[in-house]
Structure 1
Amino acid sequence: MVRPRLLHDIVSAMHVHKLGHVCTVAKLQITTRINGRTNVLTLHILQEVQLGKLDTSVKVRNSNLTINSTSFAQWALTEVLLENCQLTDSSFDSDAFNGLENSLRLLSLKDNELTRLPKFLSKFTNIETLDVSGNPIPHYNFNEDILRDIGDSLLSFSFGTKIGGTELSQWPLTLKHLVKLQEIILTAADITLMPINSFHGFEGTLLRLTLANTKLRSVPLAISRLRYLQDLHFDHNQNVGDYGVRIPLIKGFLPFLNQMSLKDDNITTFPEVLQSFDRLDQLNMDENNLKFVSDKSAKAVTQITSLSLQHSGITRIPGAIQDITYLNILDLSNNSIHAIETNDLKESAELLTLKLNNNPILYISDKAFVNQTKLRRLELKGIAIKRVPCALEAMIRRHQPGYVIVDLSNNKIECNCGLKWLFDVKNDRHTRTRFRIVGNCDTVDKTIQDYLDSDLAVCPSGINCTDS
């Protein structure tokens, strides 16, 4: 076993070319400013010191450290990341982090073995971001005095156990002292219920909230008190289900909510409560079991412009999606969609980005994208096709002036004279848009775009896509 080393011992190793057995550090990056010049030193075990670009941070991961009064005494650091370093409550001297009292803005102690908030946190007068997630800290060890001391400067706070941990079973109400908090991230907890006053102290300042990997059975009503909340991530809460998102909100609550994520919450349909949020613009419902999406349920999200339904068990493009009038971004990747029919996207004329990656698509109608005249990006990666879809011809010929990217990566596309139709479309004087095909040929050692640009000119004209 390698004994724990003092961080200043490792820092002193910056003066040598080999790190040797000084510590079990996988990577140590030190960034300093000397006489106005910025220097970044990156140390790897048994590798030479490397120079990189600048910042004012220390990052140590996958190590075994002890922090004392001299560890950072000579460094005017703004960021310190000590992640997955097997740090315990006894790894820190009482005067740890001396010298950083006024300069430190960000501290990450994530994925260690801390059971309480370290006392040295109180000394940081300007700290803005603190991450103690992935530590087994119970609710009663979120010390009130420490949180009061940093509450006047802290803007972002991340906490939670390791996924599956049971140490944090209640919401720590001492967080009320974080009166300027704009972001709070709970990464994992054994919590089943949150009090209505959970966000007391920062109900009028919080902009972003993440509650993930909990035992909650419903969306907490306490969220309705967050007057200026813009971004809500309520992910991987598998005890919630459809019933748990039926919260009785009156229209007008959360008037600034713009982004919402409900990933992996065991939901089977669009929650009706979503129609209460007039400004909701982006919705992510990945990893739910949305095999059937009804027209009625889609009425709850007609206001959104971005929708992601990855890994949702969908077998065809839901017709209800066409009721979302101003949808700009649609991601249906990693589902079980077998066909794209002529009318599946007929009414989705405002789409700018469409992603259908990693679906077992067997059929694409020649007119599948005929109404997507504003599309800027179409992704059909990994769908096991061998030919460039003929549907591109109708889309490109009708497309508005602009530029569109079609990504066919991870397919085995056959590049031969059968693609002459695409060359003809590209060079037709009536084609108003430029386009680029991303991906490689399977039959020749070229990208599809290179083959289109350089090889197809010599092929005979008059080849239709449907004939190729």
Structure 2
Amino acid sequence: MVLFISLELLIWRSGAVALANCPTGCNCNDDTLVVVCEESRLDVLPIALNPSIQRLIIRNNKIKTIDSSMQFYTELQHLDLSQNHLVNIPMNSFAYQHKIQELHLNHNKISSVTNTTFQGLTSLTVLNLKRNFLEELTNGVFSTLPRLEELNLGQNRISRIEPRAFAGLSALRILYLDDNQLSTVPTNSFSLLGSLAELHVGLNAFSFLPDDAFAGLNRLAVLDLNGAGLFNISDNAFRGLPGLRSLNLVGNRLSVVPTQQLSGLTRLEELTIGQNDFLVLESHSFKGLKNLKLLDITGATQLERIEKGAFEDNINLESITLANNKKLSVLEDCTLLGLPKLKHVSLKDNAILTLRETVFVGKELRQLDLSENPIFCDCQLLWLEELLNDKSNFTQIQCASPEHLKDKYLRTLNAEDLGCVLHDTRQQTIICIVVVACVAAIFTIVLILYKYRKSMHEKLKDYKWNKGRKNLDYHKPISTEEDCIVRGIHPSQYPAPPPHTPGLRPIPVTEL
């Protein structure tokens, strides 16, 4: 009992000492084994913390190097030294940190790393070196990190990557190389990353994607080329990416939609391609993308028109965003028809004056945004007014013109306000159908008469001849030789006529 009490007292005193040594401005919790020091003006790593801590967060301080005090914290699983003044990391700084799983060194001034920098971090899965001063990646620089799954090298100054820089990263799934100074895609380096699922290489200066630019990345599902400076894409640039699900081509300088280049990505589900320089979305612009579900074209400043059939090959589309395209004024008839799964449409902040009912059928939509367009409210929008009243979750649409309807909400207007002569659009449709049916029937009759005109003419002649013959037979006198023979009386047996009496006319005997 005495021994047990003594042990409890020792543990309590060690905890009390640890709390007593917690630096000013830090929060030390010996129950959760977490120490947080944010904006505490520390310029060196604390040396007297509880050696059992598992999470050490020293963010936004003034630490310039990682010194030998790190060896005392062998139980660490999470270390965050972001937003400090680290210039370099001495060799073997993490020799005793075999349990660290996450290491955050982002927002510092680290200019170089070598294959000895991370020695000892055999359990590391996440390494964040974003926003430092790295200029190159040498062969095998990360070879001591066999379990690394996520590597963030974004916002550095990397212009050169040696072919075997990523050697040993067989478990890597997410790689950020965005916002660097790469002029060409480091294809040879990527070929070692057979397990990579996400690649972010936007905001570089590629200008051109050659054939097989991402060869070897057979499991890649997400490719981000946002702002990569692309003018041109080779026809086979995306070859070897059979499982790609998401592609970001925003902010490049493409003058046309790369239809041929995208057509091989048959499993693509999300495509973001705004802020490019194309003028029109032509028919079959996204041919081959039969599994596409989400399409986002935002901020295409030159886009003016979307042609009928632009999305004809994409019957699985669920969401279309065509927003903030300042010159987009024309959506041709049937542009959004034939898309049975379409639920979300955003046409916000374009140059659309009016929208015909034949552009799409809106009754199946869950969301429709037509706000911030210079809408001209007249009878052509009566169908849209009725749709807005049926769908309470659709965004409000304000009229920009004519002047007497300016700033009024379309939902609050009626047929008379919109200047409609025939209020019921369904009645117009019925009348049109009846007229078309009558014209079709008349045309069919005329066609039949023309086709059988000769046979009908012959039958008509036969009919007239037979009718005339019957009438003639009916008025024929019985005294003729033929009638007699028919009745069985020979002319020799017929009595002689009486002598002619002057003043009397013979009365003819007719057949009754």
Give, in whole Å, the separation in 2 of the partners of 1:135 and 1:81: 13
2:195 paired with 1:222: no
Report the residue type matching 1:147 in the other structure: F
Q: CA deviation at 1:382?
A: 1.9
Q: Please list the CA deviations of residues 50-89 of structure 1 after superposition, one character each: whole Å capped at 9, or x if unmatched.
A: xxxxx9684736x744354268659956362614x4x242
Percent identical pairs in the alignment equals 19
Aligned counterpart, 1:115: 87
Give, in whole Å, the separation in 2 of the partners of 1:264 and 1:7: 45
Q: Please list the CA deviations of residues 391-429 of structure 1 after superposition, one character each: whole Å capped at 9, or x if unmatched.
A: 5884224x4xxx52113344566899986534544778x
2:100 paired with 1:127: yes
Residues 410-425 of structure 1 mapped to structure 2, 5 A cutoff: 410-411=372-373, 421-422=383-384, 424-425=386-387
Aligned counterpart, 1:105: 78
2:34 paired with 1:60: no
Q: Structure 1 pair 8/463, CA: closer, same or farther in 2 (3 Å)?
A: farther
Higher RCO (C-alpha 8 Å, min separation 6): 1
Q: CA deviation at 1:191?
A: 3.3
Q: CA deviation at 1:177?
A: 0.6
Give, in whole Å, the separation in 2 of the partners of 1:80 and 1:458: 67
Report the residue type matching 1:437 in the other structure: F
Q: Please list the CA deviations of residues 259-303 of structure 1 after superposition, one character each: whole Å capped at 9, or x if unmatched.
A: 111222222344413122111121111111111235433334344
Contact kept in structure 1, 2:262 and 2:286, CA below 8 Å: yes
Contact kept in structure 1, 2:158 and 2:182, CA below 8 Å: yes
Q: Structure 1 pair 174/346, CA: closer, same or farther in 2 (3 Å)?
A: closer
Q: Structure 1 pair 121/437, CA: closer, same or farther in 2 (3 Å)?
A: farther
Contact kept in structure 1, 2:135 and 2:158, CA below 8 Å: yes
Give, in whole Å, the separation in 2 of the partners of 1:426 and 1:230: 42
Contact kept in structure 2, 1:70 and 1:97, CA below 8 Å: no
Give, in whole Å, the separation in 2 of the partners of 1:97 and 1:184: 24
Aligned counterpart, 2:123: 153
Aligned counterpart, 1:264: 227
Contact kept in structure 1, 2:251 and 2:275, CA below 8 Å: yes
Report how many residues are paired: 394
Q: Please list the CA deviations of residues 147-191 of structure 1 after superposition, one character each: whole Å capped at 9, or x if unmatched.
A: 1222x21111122554xx5x5344373321111101111113443
Q: Please list the CA deviations of residues 245-267 of structure 1 after superposition, one character each: whole Å capped at 9, or x if unmatched.
A: 434776xx322111111222222
Give, in whole Å, the separation in 1 of the partners of 2:55 and 2:238: 40
Give, in whole Å, the separation in 2 of the partners of 1:95 and 1:232: 36
Q: Structure 1 pair 197/218, CA: closer, same or farther in 2 (3 Å)?
A: same
Residues 173-192 of structure 1 mapped to structure 2, 5 A cutoff: 173-192=140-159
Give, in whole Å, the separation in 2 of the partners of 1:138 and 1:237: 19
Indicate the SS of the match to 1:276.
coil
Aligned counterpart, 2:498: none
Aligned counterpart, 1:95: 69
Pair member with larger Rg:
2
Indicate the SS of the match to 1:219.
coil
Counterpart among 365, 368, 383 of residue 335 in structure 2: 368
Q: By percentage of residues, which structure has more strand?
A: 1
Give, in whole Å, the separation in 2 of the partners of 1:376 and 1:56: 46
Give, in whole Å, the separation in 2 of the partners of 1:109 and 1:282: 30
Report the residue type matching 1:95 in the other structure: S
Contact kept in structure 1, 2:257 and 2:281, CA below 8 Å: no
Contact kept in structure 1, 2:371 and 2:398, CA below 8 Å: no
Contact kept in structure 2, 1:77 and 1:104, CA below 8 Å: yes
Aligned counterpart, 1:276: 240
Aligned counterpart, 1:407: 369
2:23 paired with 1:8: yes
TM-score (norm 2): 0.64
Aligned counterpart, 1:41: none
Q: CA deviation at 1:440?
A: 6.4
Gaps of 5+ in 2: 1-20, 429-512
Contact kept in structure 1, 2:161 and 2:189, CA below 8 Å: yes
Aligned counterpart, 2:344: 377
RMSD of the alignment, in Å?
Answer: 4.2
Report the residue type matching 2:123 in the other structure: S
Q: Structure 1 pair 223/367, CA: closer, same or farther in 2 (3 Å)?
A: same
Give, in whole Å, the separation in 1 of the partners of 2:163 and 2:108: 25
2:361 paired with 1:395: yes
2:394 paired with 1:437: yes
Report the residue type matching 1:334 in the other structure: G
Give, in whole Å, the separation in 1 of the partners of 2:337 and 2:168: 53
Contact kept in structure 2, 1:138 and 1:169, CA below 8 Å: no
Q: Structure 1 pair 424/248, CA: closer, same or farther in 2 (3 Å)?
A: closer
